[in-house]
Structure 1
Amino acid sequence: MKLPIVKSPLSFSRQAQPDSTNPAQHPETMLASLQAMAEEKRDTAMSETQLIQDEDDGLQVSWTADEERALVRRVDLLVMPLLILGFFALQLDRGNIGNAMTDFFLQDVGITQYQFNIGQQLLSAGIVLLEIPSNLLLYRIGPAVWIGSQILAWGFVATFQAFQKGLGPYLATRLLLGLCEAGFIPAGLFTITRWYKREETTTRFSWYFIGNLLAAACSGLVAYGILHLRGVCGLAGWQWLFLIEGIFTILVGILFICLFPLSAENPVSILGLRYFSEREAQILQQRVLRDDPTKAQKRKNVSWDEIKATFTNWRLLPHLFMTFLGLAPASTMGAYAPSLVVSFGFDRLKSNAMTSVGAWCLLVTNIIWGTVADRLRLRGAMVFLGLLVFWGFTLGNRLLIESTNSNLRFGILTAALAFQVTWHPVNGSWLAINARTAGERSVTMALLIMSANISGIIGSQLFQAEDAPTYRKGWTAIICLVSASLAMSILANLQYWLLNRFQNRKGEARYQY
């Protein structure tokens, strides 16, 4: 395609000299008019071709809209699948213990349900402890090496947890698994912001979480098959589950390190595979910086001022409270969904496959929420709507705890699973686009996922053995938590609306919501 020529104001002035004999045409007035015409001409041309000036080396990079779309598609096929695959492995290793419970895991290891819940709390605590340090290391080392190393680390822990026996090894394994997994999710979110513009971010955040949701959808089906290996080579079904899925994670880690590009500025893998030309790399970098100059990463470390600014940013509070209040019920249902289905009267092993129905539905609803939020640029409204729908289905589960209609109870539980976290990736994007610098964005993503894992500490204790099988107190607590989270989403929307009204009076930049 032939690029249109963008003419400077000077070249326009040479083509249309003012008539000096006409007193109506004052030279200064005519020059200003011609400059305005040139600016209008440039804007028209820029709709098809963008000109970016690189101040560092004086090079001028131009590209067409079609060329940019093609590059974004290539990024989608290179960066997103590897991040999604890593998230898939994470959720397999984090969540398969819920499937193990249906194969006499508690009895074989020799722990009680209360002790099982403590182990789940330690998993979340381990993630919370190292979330921010992990993201600081990511900022310095880069995603290819750091994220890949994390995947390998928790993959080995996940594999060898197949041989745990007794309370001590169980608790140690859950804590170690959490420590190794710490930082992966915010690292992925921050990495996405380095490759995409603001209006592209929410959709990619939702696709990133597809790795998590796809694992939840597949884990029940995979577990249904693997747990039938009980007795093979003298191992329990849950031991085979940990072994097979742990080895898979190790392979994912090796693949990630070998193939993931070092950065958008240097899109080369650690093995030397170059995915984009030098010009294409400049386009990828400059299109993001043109959209949001705060994404410029001028240092290899996050400054103390950026850390302080993030921790003193009171606007984050509604987002963080909303996260751990709203995700606590989701973590409970994720761990106990197979056991709940068994309590409805369904087969022990079949329950693992049945719970995957809601997870498969969540794949669709999650993408819908992210895409609509990006298209309409209504992230706050979509967060509120997602929590409202989830609240309605959790209320339905609470009202049906005494029902003898097994199919109805399974249907409402499935609907709740299908809408439990649609709002979470959108909330993450909402925070990311309002961060003021790259360093603040990195720490903010870490704080968001810390809040998500604090929810795991809360959620792991909502269902207690003495409250089984109806879990009356547990479901009541879930309703209260989701209601509070819904209130926080209203507060988050309200604060940005009020702040924007104030910013408009001062003529300052507006917050996006």
Structure 2
Amino acid sequence: MDDIPLVVASAQYNSADEEDIPLVAKKSHASKASVYSLESIEEVDDINPFLDPDVATYYRQVYDQSQYECRAYFDPELRWSKEEEKDVLGKLDRKAALFACIMFIGLQIDRGNLGQAVSDNMLNDLNLTTDDYNTANTIFLIMFILAELPSQLISKWMGPDRWIPLQMISWSVIASLQSFVTGKKSFFLARGLTALLSGGFIPTMVLWLSYFYKSSELPLRLSWFWTTLSLVQITTSILAFGILRLRGLLGWEGWRWLFLIEGGFTFIIGICSIHMMVPSIVHTRTLFTPRGWFNGNERELKIAVNRILRDDPTKGDMNNRQSISLAATLQSLLDYDLWPVYCIGLIAYIPTNTVSNYLTITLKNLGWSTFNVNLLTIPHNLFHIVMLLGVTKFSERLNERSLISLLVPLWLLPLLAILCWWEGSMVNAWGTWVLCNLILGAPYIHAICVSWVSRNSGSIRTRSVSSAVYNICVQAGGIIAANVYKSDDAPLYKRGNLRLFWISFTLIPLLLGTKWYYTWRNATKEKIWNSMSPEHRYIYMNKTSEEGNKRLDFRFAS
């Protein structure tokens, strides 16, 4: 009995009070235990699940069997300083995170410029109503949802480095062809095809980024990802100010030039993305980086690989060209422990998405010109960036998600109450503008939730599917948002705003219930775990058939 070392589960454990968790339960994750003494913990900066030779041997076999692309650089005994890791992280930020943001520009340009187009009287030019506009947004979101999971599975089979460039080039062509729509049918078709070809881009990109970053590092990088969204909206609003003035050139309306020019810009990014995306952290030589991301520095390359594996050993249990079977996909879809976060994604963004969809139409109806309307959409995007980065950093610093996310309904409810019961709402021009900017500048928890799903997945298989499912839920919420405001409720949309108020209110019990559920699940596991003898824990961690977040040594982030 005394010869049995303390057992420390492998990586990706999250808790608000980690120091209170018994040593045997810390750093829980996947299928093989890491075993070492208390003295060993003092010798390294981070917990190393491979200090036990048996564990290192086991995972080396796993990586060889999966043909993990980085397996040649796996080194259980490698040591490095915090300064060295900081240098490696900086290079990853300048390459992986920056490249991801650049490619996200292409997506946001083509899915976000419809609001600018309708500010240029696009609906009147095509003899469309605001209900037709709602239908177009609904078609876009439905097709986007239908493409999410298949796109993710194709990406896992082909590799994100091949699939994402192909996606971008394909949808950019259709986005440009929107400049030739002539009526309702062609408009609906163009929006549907654009969504079908771009669906799955976000979860695929999130999965690709997870290959390079620890679980604690990913949320901030994802916040940069969605900061790009606001920066793109600011930039395209300024560009639209000029492009829409081309109305009359060659007999075209300004919005037609907008679709053509911005679609062409995405096409260029798509071509460049062929050389931006890399298959893995050890295959980074491209046209833009001929010496690789680490300039041939083998030590930095080994640090980059081993820091990720020590944080989460399961990141090597599949290679980047390995497909996910139908049975494994179904198993991941039925992972009920992730459903609370899916529900949050469904509801959390409906109020802001609804107001955002109608912002340019509302401002135009209040008397502002087409060009001023696009400039007036800039301030809330600046506010959005500050709130996104702030709430994400705050969440990571406190290691808390559910309670931090309560800031969203607490922020929105009084503002939506004003929209519901203030007689001047949607009538008083500057007052409505300020109110809409405050609503759209609400704390944005998307980066928190995406990384939350990733953390609580517990395996690459589940993570690949769960990121897509979460985004499906978000897009489903977008469908609801696209149909809250109705033409018979215009121009004040009192009925619609009341619905937004109650939708926002339901987020409060949902977030509190999510906090309770994950706390209860962790406590239940902890009780069983503590009742086991050291021998039984050791046997369980090495022999159990339970996987991912269903293991007793896994703890959920809450």
- TM-score w.r.t. the length of structure 2 is 0.80
What RMSD in Å do the two structures reach over aligned CA positions?
2.3
Secondary structure of 1:207 counterpart? helix
- Write the distance in 2 (CA, Å) between the matches of 1:212 and 1:129: 22
* Residue of structure 2 equivalent to 1:472: 494
Secondary structure of 2:340 counterpart? helix
Letter in 2 for 1:282: K
* Residue of structure 1 equivalent to 2:91: 74
Secondary structure of 1:99 counterpart? helix
Cα 1:301–1:162, aligned 2, differ >3 Å: closer, same or farther? same
Matched, 1:339 2:361: yes
Letter in 2 for 1:275: W
- Write the distance in 2 (CA, Å) between the matches of 1:180 and 1:250: 13
* Residue of structure 2 equivalent to 1:23: none
- Write the distance in 1 (CA, Å) between the matches of 2:342 and 2:147: 17
Tell me if the contact between 2:48 and 2:310 (Cα under 8 Å) persists in the aligned partners: no
Secondary structure of 1:390 counterpart? helix
1:213-224 equivalences under 5 Å are 213-224=230-241
Matched, 1:511 2:556: yes
Cα 1:352–1:399, aligned 2, differ >3 Å: closer, same or farther? farther
Tell me if the contact between 1:131 and 1:183 (Cα under 8 Å) persists in the aligned partners: yes
* Residue of structure 1 equivalent to 2:65: none
* Residue of structure 1 equivalent to 2:16: none
* Residue of structure 2 equivalent to 1:493: 515
Percent identical pairs in the alignment equals: 25
* Residue of structure 2 equivalent to 1:233: 250
Tell me if the contact between 1:195 and 1:288 (Cα under 8 Å) persists in the aligned partners: yes
Shift of 1:443: 0.3
- Higher RCO (C-alpha 8 Å, min separation 6): 2
Letter in 2 for 1:302: I
Cα 1:400–1:255, aligned 2, differ >3 Å: closer, same or farther? farther
Letter in 2 for 1:334: S
Shift of 1:69: 1.0
Letter in 2 for 1:285: V
- Write the distance in 1 (CA, Å) between the matches of 2:429 and 2:356: 19
Deviates more, 1:84-93 or 1:247-256: 84-93
1:295 to 307, 312, 315: 315
Cα 1:68–1:127, aligned 2, differ >3 Å: closer, same or farther? same
Structure 1, residues 32-81: CA drift from partner, whole Å, max 9, x if none? xxxxxx96665444239989777546854332211111101110011111
Matched, 1:353 2:337: no
- Write the distance in 2 (CA, Å) between the matches of 1:51 and 1:470: 59
Letter in 2 for 1:376: L
- Write the distance in 1 (CA, Å) between the matches of 2:150 and 2:456: 22
- Write the distance in 2 (CA, Å) between the matches of 1:320 and 1:74: 33
* Residue of structure 2 equivalent to 1:191: 208
* Residue of structure 2 equivalent to 1:275: 293
Secondary structure of 2:323 counterpart? coil
1:200 to 204, 217, 221: 217
Letter in 2 for 1:292: D
Deviates more, 1:154-163 or 1:83-92: 83-92
- Write the distance in 2 (CA, Å) between the matches of 1:304 and 1:415: 44
* Residue of structure 1 equivalent to 2:272: 255
- Write the distance in 2 (CA, Å) between the matches of 1:146 and 1:401: 51
Structure 1, residues 270-329: CA drift from partner, whole Å, max 9, x if none? 788322344433322221111122322425122344322322222222222221222223
- Write the distance in 2 (CA, Å) between the matches of 1:190 and 1:395: 38
Secondary structure of 2:358 counterpart? helix
1:95 to 94, 112, 115: 112
Cα 1:305–1:101, aligned 2, differ >3 Å: closer, same or farther? same
Shift of 1:257: 1.1
* Residue of structure 2 equivalent to 1:152: 169
* Residue of structure 2 equivalent to 1:46: 44
Tell me if the contact between 1:49 and 1:63 (Cα under 8 Å) persists in the aligned partners: no
Cα 1:401–1:145, aligned 2, differ >3 Å: closer, same or farther? farther
Secondary structure of 1:419 counterpart? coil
- Write the distance in 1 (CA, Å) between the matches of 2:146 and 2:306: 35
Matched, 1:418 2:438: no
Structure 1, residues 252-278: CA drift from partner, whole Å, max 9, x if none? 111111122221243333788322344
Cα 1:432–1:387, aligned 2, differ >3 Å: closer, same or farther? farther
Deviates more, 1:477-486 or 1:439-448: 477-486
Q: Which runs of 4+ in 1 moved over 4 A?
A: 38-42, 48-55, 57-60
Return the structure number with greater helix share. Answer: 1
1:165 to 182, 196, 203: 182
Secondary structure of 1:132 counterpart? helix
Secondary structure of 2:280 counterpart? coil
- Write the distance in 2 (CA, Å) between the matches of 1:451 and 1:49: 35
Secondary structure of 1:198 counterpart? coil
Shift of 1:136: 1.0
* Residue of structure 2 equivalent to 1:11: none
* Residue of structure 1 equivalent to 2:19: none
Shift of 1:209: 1.2
Cα 1:286–1:247, aligned 2, differ >3 Å: closer, same or farther? same
Deviates more, 1:478-487 or 1:341-350: 341-350
Deviates more, 1:452-461 or 1:430-439: 452-461
Letter in 2 for 1:121: T
Structure 2 segments unaligned to the other structure (5+ residues): 1-35, 61-71, 530-551
- Write the distance in 2 (CA, Å) between the matches of 1:488 and 1:401: 31
Secondary structure of 1:329 counterpart? helix
Between structure 1 and structure 2, the one with the greater Rg is 1
- Write the distance in 2 (CA, Å) between the matches of 1:416 and 1:343: 19
Secondary structure of 2:457 counterpart? coil
Structure 1 segments unaligned to the other structure (5+ residues): 1-37
- TM-score w.r.t. the length of structure 1 is 0.87
- Write the distance in 2 (CA, Å) between the matches of 1:298 and 1:321: 28
Deviates more, 1:294-303 or 1:464-473: 294-303
Secondary structure of 2:406 counterpart? helix
Tell me if the contact between 1:261 and 1:270 (Cα under 8 Å) persists in the aligned partners: no
Matched, 1:362 2:380: no
Tell me if the contact between 2:47 and 2:310 (Cα under 8 Å) persists in the aligned partners: no
Shift of 1:108: 1.7
Secondary structure of 2:78 counterpart? strand
- Write the distance in 2 (CA, Å) between the matches of 1:104 and 1:385: 37
Secondary structure of 1:512 counterpart? coil
Shift of 1:365: 0.8
Matched, 1:407 2:430: yes
Secondary structure of 1:46 counterpart? coil
Deviates more, 1:312-321 or 1:436-445: 312-321
1:447-462 equivalences under 5 Å are 447-462=469-484
How many residue pairs get matched?
475
Secondary structure of 2:79 counterpart? strand
Tell me if the contact between 1:380 and 1:430 (Cα under 8 Å) persists in the aligned partners: no
